[in-house]
Structure 1
């Protein structure tokens, strides 16, 4: 998904479980729609959860450096909210865009899948093959 230009802003009233307190700017109409979409799909906006300097939150900066917006977001299911360590902007990334790269650090605990005991031997039905090899009417040449 891309090209939403959704500004979610600082005010998270009514969206406390979706939007954190550390957004940037004011919410626009697309931001309202995006917040509703996240609420409907049980998603959390990762970029608004963590306190960072303003420069590490602004994903789009105007050419004259007067306007900063946070319009690119990383969303994750509410169930996995605790796996996010941080979400921030990488300004030095060499990408051909006027927006900065948004990066999230996640911590995952992977569990080894243990198999219990030995697997049962597979048995194949060989009656058909036995019938072919032990045929009473062998072909005559």
Structure 2
């Protein structure tokens, strides 16, 4: 988050660390309690985390079939370009197939220059539904849902 804020890109996460926001900390605790959490390590140290769930967030339109949804994907900025995020997405694909599911969805920040959307497209996702989340004391948060169809296991 500090890296984004230092470049004036506070629209995605804001400028205050999540650890200082009680609601954000509660959200992360809920992810750990209710969903599958995968942690990537590099040299024995945490490098990224991916949270997977079979139910989408409330703002995502239903799809009428089973799916696995990437609820959170965060990587260590110091390891940018090392493939940590791609490895976590590949692991999400494998978990999706293991469960006999053929649809993997994710959402991301769709504002600014849509760079994050393009990053997911480079990983094989297709943009589907744009959405907006109302934020207290901030501009609305523009998001983009993306999906990837997988062949059965």
TM-score, normalisation: structure 1: 0.25
Return the structure number with greater strand share: 2
Structure number with greater Rg is 1
